[in-house]
Amino acid sequence: MTDKRGSRATDRTEAIMRTTLELGKEIGYAKLSIEAVAARAGVGKHTIYRRWSSKGALFLDSLLSLNKSDLDYPDTGDIVADLRRQIHAAIELLDRPPVGPLYRALIGEALLNPQVAAALNDHFITPQAEKTLARLKVARDQGQLSPGFDLDLAMDILSGPLYFRALIVQEPLTHEYVDRVIEALFTGMESRP
């Protein structure tokens, strides 16, 4: 009996998240509501509120349910190639429709809602930053980077231009742009004899 209940709960959760993304694509994040999701998913709004405290939290979990494994780092022994591959995968996921506009809307919500900001940071930004820092540390330990290079600063240098371009000037993130950012960063990070 427990397996059926657990399976139904999982199915219901997946249906709610899928419906959230569908509605978000159709009407945009600003017009999205818990009530609209509940009606389309065929559940009560209390069912949604038991799992998520707000529209932003629901939307964040729904977005994160997509292609999470695509943002795992490779380790080929070449830090530049690995960063390039991972960041290319990230921009493919986060800059292109349908996810791109929805992700930018979520960032906007995070600026206004501290709970959404904390959830975004806890469930997406921090884990991705930790993966990047771990990969950079391995590269430093292997001698691919200068021993004293500030890895936190490297993370900021890698992510800052991408967020600036996507959110502030709203220009497309391209593989060529990512490659230029990585090249500029690694000119200053190369290990010197």
SS3 breakdown of the chain: % helix, strand, coil, rounded to 5?
75, 0, 25
Q: Mind listing the pLDDT tens digit of every residue in the chain (193 residues)?
A: 556 667 788 889 999 999 999 999 898 888 999 999 999 999 999 999 999 988 888 998 898 887 555 677 888 999 999 999 999 988 887 777 777 888 888 888 888 889 889 988 988 899 889 999 999 999 999 999 888 888 999 999 999 999 899 888 988 889 999 999 999 888 865 555 5
In a domain, residue 63? The reply is: no
Structural domain range at position 6: 2-54
The phi and psi torsions of 145 (rounded to 5 degrees) equal -125, 160
Residues 47 and 78 in one domain: no
* Total domains present in the chain: 2
pLDDT given for residue 193 in this prediction: 58
Classify residue 185: in a domain, yes or no.
yes
Query: In sequence order, which residues have a C-beta less than 8 Å from that of residue 130 and are 6 or more positions away?
Result: none
Shared domain check, 111 and 41: no
- At 27, which CATH number? 1.10.10.60
The SS3 call for residue 74 is coil
Q: CA torsion angle for 50, 51, 55, 56 (degrees, to 10)?
A: 140
User: What pLDDT score does 108 carry?
Assistant: 85
